[in-house]
Structure 1
Amino acid sequence: MAIMDDVDQRLISALRHDARASLSDLAILLGVSRTTVRGRIEKLRQRGDIVGFTVVLQGDTKRDPVRGLMMIGIEGRGADRISRQLAGLTAVRAIHSTNGRWDLILEIGTDTLEELDAVLERIRRLDGIANSETNLLLATKKAG
Structure 2
Amino acid sequence: MIDLDDLDRRILRALSEDATQSSGALGRKLGLSQPATWRRIRRLEEAGAIRGKRVELDLARLGFGVTVFLGVKLATKGRLSLEDFERAVSAIPEVQTVEHILGAYDYRLRVTARDIPDFERVLRRRIMTLPGIGNVDANVLLSEERLPGPLG
After TM superposition, is the score higher than 0.5?
yes
Unaligned stretches of 5+ residues in structure 1 = 28-32
Aligned-pair RMSD on alpha carbons?
A: 2.9
Change in 2 beyond 3 A, CA 1:57/1:132: closer
Aligned match for 2:107, one of 96, 104, 112: 104
SS at match of 1:106: strand
Q: Which residue is 1:30 aligned to?
A: none
- What is residue 98 of structure 2 aligned with on the other side? 95
Match of 2:86 among 83, 102, 108: 83
Alignment of 1:45 with 2:48, yes or no, is no
Count of aligned residue pairs for this structure pair: 134
Instruction: Give the C-alpha shift of residue 88 in structure 1.
Output: 2.4
TM-score, normalization: structure 1? 0.71
| Cα offset, 1:94, TM superposition | 2.5
Secondary structure in structure 1 of the residue aligned to 2:72? strand
Which residue of 2 is the match for residue 121 of structure 1?
124
Identity %: 25
Aligned pairs for 1:1-144 within 5 A:
3-7=1-5, 8=8, 11-19=11-19, 20=21, 22-25=26-29, 27=30, 34=32, 37-58=37-58, 60-63=59-62, 64-74=64-74, 75-77=76-78, 78-122=81-125, 123-142=127-146
Q: CA deviation at 1:115?
A: 1.6
Structure 2 residue runs without a partner (length 5+): 148-152
SS in 2 for 1:34: coil
Q: Which moved more, 1:110-119 or 1:86-95?
A: 86-95
Alpha carbons 2:26, 2:37 under 8 Å: kept: no
